[in-house]
Structure 1
Amino acid sequence: MRVLIVDDSPVLRMLLRSVLESEGFEVREAENGEQALRLLAGYQPDIVTMDVHMPGMDGYETTARILEKYALPVVVVTASADPHAAATAMHTLEAGALAVLEKPLGPGAANFEACIDALLRTLRRMAQVKIVRRPRVIKPSPATPKAASLGAGSQKVVAIAASAGGPAALKTLLSGLATQQPWPLLLAQHIALGFLGSFRDWLASVCSLRVSIAEHGQALQPGVLYLPPDGSHLGIDENLRAHLQGSNGELYCPSADHLFRSVAQHLGNLAIGIQLSGMGRDGAEGLAVLRSQGALTIVQEPTSAVIDAMPKAAIQLQAARQVLAPEAIAALLNSMALRDRSHSTGQGGT
């Protein structure tokens, strides 16, 4: 497998090269974004590792330009303990990077082996992902699906699942939502340990919702987007309170299937489930259960996803009542929120 390392630190490049070459990888290096783009004009790696803070062009802009010109998976490798670096890493995910990983500090560090293991596993998985070019264009405003297709009842919660490529879809979806959402929103997004706080802050910066790390047993409030703490699955109980459950070694934590099944069990058709970009099949079966209970289930249109595996898996299971691009999902939720507020005030939708 061919890897391009983009990092301004010669020490880090030497460390990563040593580790990767010992595993049989072919490695090339670039010390900044400009050099990376020049190399890519004549070299086709299987995957790119990207630093975020470099002289000249930073990791966000470099990633955006790579994805404009080349169909290459990009994985961010940065320091989770540096708030500025972690914040920039979130923007790089927004640009289309597939994952963010903690930068290994060296063989003497306590978590060195764990960092290297996560790096190798992620590179091998992400190098297999089919990437599409992401031209930076302004999309037209979407048409809102007809009210007849929205389903009946007053929904009580929105459950959202995303993995690799999810932040790009989340930015479009969440930034398009009206300020007053009449329901709490729960999000299961696969994110590396150590970056949850930065991810929460980034989400808060791209939407008008309040974004909160859920606490076990807390009452869920309308207009708030809840994330599970590191190492926990997120669900609800019969009183619409957050229910957190520790991981038992599952492949994905937080689990989209766990979230959707929990919402299906306690709310049935009074819920909305949304499956966004990601690798694998997490969420497909849970969303199918949610649909079988009469809930409105929405899947991201696969051609609009950075990675279409999770949306396609849900569609194959016939778990989707609607298949929409993220901006159309936002328009649909706004329409339903307006209808819900009209009914609650006795206006009958007028």
Structure 2
Amino acid sequence: MPAGSRIRVVIVDDSLVAREMLTQILTSDPDIEVVGVASDGQEAIDAVARLKPDLVTMDIHMPKMDGIEAVEHIMAYTPVPILVVSSSVHGEGVGRAFDALGRGALEVVKKPEPRDWAELERIGSEIIRRVRILSRVRVITHIRGKLRPPEHLPEGPVHAPMPHVGGSAVVAIGSSTGGPSALMTVLGALPGSFALPVVVAQHIADGFIPGLVAWLQTGCKLRVVPAEDGARMEAGHVYFAPTGLNLEVDGATLRFTAPERGQLYIPSADTLFRSVARTHGRHAIGVILTGMGADGAAGMKMMREAGAHTIAQDEETSTVYGMPRAAKEMGAASTVLPVGAIPAELVAMTSED
């Protein structure tokens, strides 16, 4: 998208009311232009091919062709950033929204509805913010990255020895844009006998953590749950930070903490990683997956300096190579891997004597 030009958006939703609400919200920003609308998946495919927008907002449940099939086709033939706008925050329908992310959509947000008038300004501001950010993402044809050998980086400014990884106590993961599908790839390949607890800070719209957890559980042998303040971690469990709060690890106990003033990303991967570095040092493993920005890089560097093994997802398999790039450039990552190779690396590390 050329600098200074308006962001061109196509809105896809079978509800006229929803299309009009989204149009009102988006066009309230002078830098956004709605160049087309579609009421089903096939119309969406045709509109994207014809109009070549900078971003598409995509509903899921539609007649003729649903949003899942439309996302899959668009990402295969005319790739463009896609923001899923879903009314399914809870229940079975939310899994379909995350299925769209697995096919190449970037993020999911709650659809504004007439009953949301009291919160419309907040919801609208969040949608505009996401559109502005995601429209700048360079997407490619959605094909899974091929595995390739690990890229081992030079030690850099590390002051503590690498851990005896067979004595690891916890795996900490930070992820953002593109994270749900990357998490499914990583967590879904871990065996039910995986010997460590896993803690995750995933940036996601408010209200979607329960749906993300339920969706991931359908493809995972580990038990995937929302974290609870004060709960003790157990091996073979995956704990997700809540939206609106930070998650910290205090020994074997999970703690919720309030965001710091001006904190941009909530929950914070930096906060999670720093707590793991303090309490587990070299007996921890840190992983940064796809995501925009630099959240997690400083915290992962602290983990590496404490002796933890640290892994960053590679550029080729990252939806957005922001967080992993920052970790690599800061010297926080001891290893860079394609996302499909990370599970085997985790299993190998935790199997060492």
Q: Same fold (TM over 0.5)?
A: yes
* Post-superposition CA distance 1:45-99 (Å, at most 9, x none): 1111000101122212211221112331111111144523322111112222221
The answer for the alignment partner of 2:254 in structure 1 is: 242
The answer for the alignment partner of 1:347 in structure 2 is: none
The count of residues paired between Structure 1 and Structure 2 equals 335
Distance 1:105 1:310, change over 3 A: same
The answer for the alignment partner of 1:62 in structure 2 is: 70
Q: What letter corresponds to residue 69 of structure 2 in structure 1?
A: E
277-286 vs 89-98, greater mean Cα deviation: 89-98
The answer for the alignment partner of 1:72 in structure 2 is: 80
SS at match of 1:111: helix
Asked if 1:327 corresponds to 2:334, the answer is no
Q: What letter corresponds to residue 128 of structure 1 in structure 2?
A: R
SS at match of 1:42: helix
Q: Distance between the aligned counterparts of 2:191 and 2:59, measured in 1?
A: 34
Distance 1:256 1:81, change over 3 A: closer
Q: 1:181 aligns with which of 183, 187, 194?
A: 194
* Post-superposition CA distance 1:177-233 (Å, at most 9, x none): 121111100000011111111111011111111011222222110010001223221
Per the normalisation by structure 1, the TM-score is 0.90
Instruction: Give the drift of 1:111.
Output: 1.3
User: Following superposition of structure 1 onto structure 2, how do residues 78-117 of structure 1 map, counting pairs within 5 Å?
Assistant: 78-81=86-89, 83-106=91-114, 109-117=117-125
Q: RCO (CA 8 Å, sep 6+): is it higher in 1 or 2?
A: 2
Give aligned-pair identity as a percent: 39
Structure 1 residue ranges without an equivalent (≥5): 344-350
User: Following superposition of structure 1 onto structure 2, how do residues 112-261 of structure 1 map, counting pairs within 5 Å?
Assistant: 112-135=120-143, 139=146, 151-153=163-165, 154-237=167-250, 239-249=251-261, 250-261=263-274
Q: Is the contact made by 1:63 and 1:92 (CA closer than 8 Å) also made in structure 2?
A: yes
Instruction: Give the drift of 1:145.
Output: 9.1
The answer for the alignment partner of 1:33 in structure 2 is: 41
The answer for the alignment partner of 1:346 in structure 2 is: none
- Misfit runs of 4+, over 3 Å: 142-146
Q: CA RMSD in A?
A: 2.0
Per the normalisation by structure 2, the TM-score is 0.89
Q: What letter corresponds to residue 285 of structure 1 in structure 2?
A: A
Asked if 1:303 corresponds to 2:316, the answer is yes
Q: 1:23 aligns with which of 29, 44, 53?
A: 29
Structure 2 residue ranges without an equivalent (≥5): 1-6, 156-161
SS at match of 1:226: strand
Instruction: Give the drift of 1:240.
Output: 1.6
* Post-superposition CA distance 1:95-123 (Å, at most 9, x none): 22221111111386221111111111111
Q: Distance between the aligned counterparts of 2:24 and 2:150, measured in 1?
A: 53
SS at match of 1:93: helix
